[in-house]
Structure 1
Amino acid sequence: MPDPAGGGRPLRADAQRNRDKLLEVAVRAFSQGGPEIPLESIAKEAGVGIGTLYRHFPTREALVEAAYRSELARLCDSAADLLRELPADRALRAWMNRFIDYMATKQGMAEALRAVIASGGNPFSESRDRLTAAISLFLAAGADAGILRSDVDSYDVLAGLSGISLSAGEPARREQAGRLLDLLLDGLRYRADAG
């Protein structure tokens, strides 16, 4: 991955590990502790100095935005891996669980993300396109295998997932979210030409 502060040069392996660890810790810290969590505590938990944090992320907003985008990339990039491991319908269902986790993280980071937007950033600029592209992979693979409908729009699936996340995405309601995800997947399996 190119160094965001280094003019596009790739990061050394140790620098990439430090950056990845900072992002992992930042997601958890901002989700649980809000936008004002001390950056020193994030650096310390990641096992790096504050100078390393600022080399990678010159501002708090840069760290928040990178942490959010990292979670989005982790979710979307997992689609291809799941499709290699599972049939398309089961891969999509596993991805749906990950989507609910991603949305819970996004909700936890809401205050921190608002600060990014207030400073002129747009952490969500790629979200919809990346998410629908991932969903499209599952839909195409499922349609090709004859196990998912071929007439489904990935934006509709994203809307359904978002609705489930908003209504039942809290950890205490995960059982209900699971049932709703199963219903959504059953709808994707239903044959449009059956009736």
Structure 2
Amino acid sequence: MGSRERRSDAVANRDRIVQAARAELSGSDGGELKLHAVAKAAGVGQGTLYRHFPTREHLLAEVYRHELTQLVDAVAPLLAEHAPLDALTIWMQRLIEYARVKRGVMAAIEASAWQDLYADQHHRLDDALGTVLDHGKAAGEVRAEVDAADVILLLGALSRVPEAEWDARAHRIVAVIVDGLRPR
């Protein structure tokens, strides 16, 4: 096997591990991330998992980065296909799914590691939200005085939703936020 095939196998293994960890974190039990279960679900040995992610925190950080990248990368296609307020609504529904994973990640990552990771990444989310809001303002669909920080503060309400009520409440909270963004 050449080095190119080994590299592509390694990338594929890494991607499968991240996907398996994400599935485990967003599962119904919302429980602790079990590395042996992740390795089994990804179809790799524990040695392979640890080669890519020496600690649970490394794996959790990668899940967080992956989720955030997908969320940020969704903005341009959504704006190309939908009116700004519709794009914002769809994007915020995706954000809810991200928040479910993030809740599991936040609970599992040591506080100091979480602060470093968040400080390094949060501006990407702010910028993506700002882009959607700017398009909405330009189209007259979003109140001119609202900015990304306002919406992020409102979205903070999601952190107070008990896990058992998440499915019933999270989408409704987003709908209320979007309605509040409309010009009067």
Q: Answer with 153-162 or 52-61: which moved more.
A: 52-61
- Distance across 2 between alignment mates of 1:153 and 1:69: 24
| Structure 1 unaligned blocks of 5 or more | 1-10
Change (3 A) 1:103 1:120: closer
- Distance across 2 between alignment mates of 1:73 and 1:79: 10
In the alignment, is the contact (CA less than 8 A) between 1:113 and 1:123 conserved in 2? no
Q: Select 1:94's aligned residue among 90, 94, 100.
A: 90
In the alignment, is the contact (CA less than 8 A) between 1:131 and 1:158 conserved in 2? no
- Distance across 2 between alignment mates of 1:41 and 1:176: 30
Change (3 A) 1:177 1:120: closer
| Identity percentage of aligned residues | 39
Q: Select 1:135's aligned residue among 117, 123, 129.
A: 129
- Distance across 2 between alignment mates of 1:98 and 1:174: 13
TM-score by length of 2: 0.81
TM-score by length of 1: 0.77
Q: Which residue of 2 aligns with 1:183?
A: 176
Amino acid at match of 1:172: E
> Larger % of helix: which?
2
Deviation string for 1:45-87 (max 9, x for gaps)? 1112223222322222211211122122222222222222211
Aligned length: 176
Q: What is the root-mean-square deviation in Å for CA atoms of aligned residues?
A: 2.5
Deviation string for 1:13-63 (max 9, x for gaps)? 44322212211111233453314x1x2321121112223222322222211
Give runs of ≥4 in structure 1 deviating > 6 Å: none
